[in-house]
Chain A
Amino acid sequence: MSQSATDPRQFRAPPKKPLRLSWADERVRAIFWQVLIVGIVIAVVWWLVRNTQHNLEVRRIATGFGFLQREAGLPIGESLIQYTPASTYLRALTVGVLNTLKVAVVGIILATILGTLIGIARLSKNWLLAKVAAAYVEVIRDIPLLLQLLFWYTMLQGLPGPRQALNPVTGVFLSNRGLRLPFLDWEVGHSWGLLAFVAGCCATYVYGKAMRRRQMQDGQPRPVWPAALGFLIGLPLVAWWIGGAPSGVEWPALRGFNFQGGMSVSPEYFALLVGLTTYTAGFIAEIVRAGILAVAKGQWEAAQALGLKPGVVLRQIVLPQALRVIIPPMTSQFLNLTKNSSLAVAIGYQDIVSIANTTLNQTGQAIEGIAIIMLVYLTISLSISLFMNWYNSRIALIER
């Protein structure tokens, strides 16, 4: 491996032997085995395809994706886009994909926050806090996720009806119909504010880079946070104010048998989100803990000896090193969470698996239905892997 060795013999390629047609030649054997194994695999696949074709003919099942354009006729409870039972199967499946993404993205964010907090709590000097965090991790990780989801869903169903809804904070109602939250009466001003926030994020990034460059030139550290505060909070506030400063809030209110107004979270989504978040947080906590423990104690001590403040030590010395250990296993946890969201089918949340399953039951197109499920998950998994690999290579240690 060591290319840097100065021994010239290392660079000399071994003499090429002519390929002999003999069993004693390693390369001949390699070719033989490969041809044999690939041949067996192809034969098995061909046999399966032949059987499948024959069976489909016998059962009179049409193949192909033509059914996607037909009317689905299946009701879907919650959807991010316009959907009626008269829409096509393609639209129904799109709703399913969006529902999967909705629970996966929110779940990943919440699980990362909760998991990090628990992981740090487990390292706390406070004995009680550390033990509570350890007990949480141990219990959550040793019970199947499906069981936890069913448990949460049953708990939610056991809640009182809307008339006796739990009301922990003003405007928040928890009943067996799900969670109701007050929500902004969305107007143009809010859109302006949101747009300004995105612009503020970009501006902060650019400003931070510029300051870093100037620090590289003269060695003077410049605080970024005052400007960042202005960009991230001031700018959206100004935009919101220019947009007419709308301040209407829609409060949920009991009308008839259910609540009206505000933001509604269905019990299925709520149970799935709580289950996925608390379960994955248990695993993320262990990853974060291992990552922080992996940074050698000498790194803390050396940074303190240089006179750096504790916050700077954590941010500039410890965290970058810990992240290198944390990111790869964290990626697989994100993938696990996304794949585990397919358990939604057990509690009736209509994600892609649930809708594709209904579709294949209605149309009998089993192969296409399962192919769609697999394709969707493969795409999501690959996207997350690619993004995390890119992030990982960015923070990876650049060695000589």
Chain B
Amino acid sequence: MSDISLGSSVAGVPEAAPRQPPAMTTGPAAWLRANLFSSWLNTALTLVLAYFIVRWAIGFIDWAFINAIWSVPNNQTQACRALKASDHPGACWAVITEKHRFILFGTYPYEQHWRPALVCVLFTALYIVSAMRRFWRWELAVVWAVTLVAIGVLMWGGVLGLEYVPQERWGGLPITLILSTFGLAFAFPLAIMVALGRRSSMPAIRVLCIAYVELIRGVPLISLLFMASVMFPLFLPEGINIDKLLRAQVAVILFAGAYLAEVVRGGLQALPKGQYEAADALGLSYWHKTGFIILPQALRLVIPPLVNTFIGFFKDTSLVLIIGIFDLLTAGKTSIVEPAWQGFGVEVYLAISVIYFAYCFAMSRYSQNLEAELNRHRVR
């Protein structure tokens, strides 16, 4: 077609100049038109939304940056209070400047704060290394064990010339990370056992597993935490006392175990039956079949929902506030109890939200990427 029209221009018809692509079908103008102004209704919607967003953003920037106070001398918060009551209120970030060490590390001895800080860095590094697929080998378990021991040494001290710090003085972000990491590290094997038990052919074991999962999933985490704080001491023989953090940790593990078990069971069910039958036909024992054939495939299927459950538990560890354990949120809430700083909760909560958001957002993005990567072979 094209060479005909190029080669022979019919007499009388002037040769057409090479035309520009029409401006309204490609390029930014067309994109705007298609996505923001495609109809009267859409145009109105866009304008109204844009108006509100711009107004809100200007208000927020005014409050958070332009009018804000960043530091005050010696807990003198009158300037902050005056600013709050004025016509152009601003944030009092001085509360963060003053209290950030307390919010992050609680009542840990001040001059030893480098230790919990290093623990937070170690935890974060551990998460990042575990997230990389090229490190998914058995050596990773060794890395975990070594890191967790190092974290214990750093927090407690008492060896290698480190000052001993009793567990009652721990607090802040390390507690949140400890609760969620140890919670998941112990809940995960438990969840796998329960999920296998729930699909077992032995009726007694199946009933036990179903009862455990349904009981735990039917009640709120708070009731389990209450149980850990007031009932566990009654359960144990006289004279044996487990400290509060460990009791809460046990409650979190039991709770996480039930939810993770359901996710894992989803993976076990989604696996084609032929895999089970093929393994049986090869004459593998139950544990060989489960360990080498079923679990590697089933867990791979449920990695994205597993990460989503992890995010949920990371957030849920904040509930220990209710039984008075000093995690990040409790530290934040306590930091504004002092009369001088009362009434600056919004600033403190916003700052804490940023920390939680950073961890959860990273995990959720990672889960989305991983899902896309693992499903790449399915997309044609």
Contacts and interface: CB of A to CB of B under 8 A. Distances in A.
B222 A342 contact: yes
Contacts of A305: none
Given A370-B230, A381-B218, A147 B353 contact: yes
Contacts of A360: 230
Interface stretch (A32-40, A80-88, A181-189, A387-395): A32-40
B364 A51 contact: no
Contact of A143 (B50, B273, B319, B353): B353
Given A132-B53, A339-B220, A52 B234 contact: yes
Nearest to B52: A132
Contacts of A157: 345
A66 interface: no
B49 interface: yes
A127 to B, nearest CB: 4
A312 interface: no
A339 B357 CA distance: 23
A143 B360 contact: yes
Contacts of A323: none
Given A346-B322, A370-B227, A30 B349 contact: no
Contact of B329 (A33, A144, A373): A144
A238 interface: no
Given A51-B234, A54-B238, A56-B234, A373 B226 contact: yes
A33 B356 contact: no
A253 interface: no
Contacts, number: 151
Contacts of A41: 208
Interface in B267-314: 273, 311
Given A151-B346, A158-B346, A128 B356 contact: no
Interface stretch (A134-142, A214-222, A263-271): A134-142
Given A33-B205, A128-B46, A343 B319 contact: yes
A378 B220 CA distance: 9
B318 interface: yes
A128 B50 contact: yes
B49 A377 contact: no
Contacts of A374: 218-219, 223
Q: Which of under 10, 10 to 19, 20 to 34, or 35 or more describes the interface residues of A?
A: 35 or more
A158 B89 CA distance: 12
Judged by DSSP, the binding face of A is helix
Contact of B356 (A58, A127, A147, A377): A147
B38 interface: yes
A52 B230 contact: no
B346 A154 contact: yes
Nearest to B49: A128
Nearest to B343: A158
Contact of B204 (A38, A127, A145, A382): A38
Given A158-B343, A357-B226, A370-B227, A378 B329 contact: no
B234 to A, nearest CB: 5
A144 B202 CA distance: 39
Nearest to A33: B202
Interface string A225-247: 00000000000000000000000
A76 interface: no
A147 B349 contact: yes
A284 interface: no
For B35, B50, B201, which residue has the most chain A Cβ atoms within 10 angstroms? Answer: B35
B22 interface: no
B208 A37 contact: yes
Contacts of A34: 202-205
A139 B219 CA distance: 27
Nearest to B43: A126
A253 B120 CA distance: 53
16 contacts: A34-B202, A34-B204, A51-B238, A52-B234, A55-B238, A128-B50, A128-B53, A141-B311, A146-B329, A151-B350, A158-B346, A342-B220, A343-B222, A353-B223, A374-B219, A377-B220
Given A126-B35, A142-B361, 4 more contacts: A52-B234, A56-B234, A146-B329, A147-B329
